[in-house]
Amino acid sequence: MNKQKITDVSDLNVFKKAYQVSLEIHKVSQNLPKNEQFELASQMRRASKSVCANLAEGFGKQHFSKPEFKRYLLIAIGSADEMRLWLHYCLDLKYIDKITALRLKDDYQNIAKMLTGLHKNWQ
């Protein structure tokens, strides 16, 4: 089996997935009510982008310290879990429909699982 060499954070499937979902979150958050743009919408944009940012920052540092990369992976997992909470708020406040909320929550659950696997197996 040929394994692709990972030379950049964008080579990681979890980064690709997290980045695509963060773009969708950005768009969804722009449709939240005006009174939520500086609160909930802003938190959503920051948390979704935090998953990608922590992957990128940790990946860059892993050349010097593997434990440091793993620490950033744990932070990214926390941000993915945070996104699930914000989506729960959006659903309960009826800012987004149930199908969208559940799909995005599932996306973040899968991202967290991917991050957990990466944390466990990164050498």
- The residue-averaged pLDDT of 72-96 equals 97
- The residue-averaged pLDDT of 50-75 equals 93
pLDDT of residue 2: 46
Fold classification of 12-121 is de novo design (two linked rop proteins) (1.20.1440)
Cα(27)–Cα(76) distance, integer angstroms: 21
Which position has the token pair 């620490």? 71
Please report, for the chain, the start and end positions of each structural domain, with discontinuous segments joined by +.
Answer: 12-121
AA identity, residue 85: L
Cα(93)–Cα(104) distance, integer angstroms: 16
Flag whether pLDDT at 123 surpasses 80.
no
pLDDT category of residue 56 using cuts at 50, 70 and 90:
very high
- Pair 81, 112: CB distance under 8 Å: yes
Flag whether pLDDT at 1 surpasses 60.
no
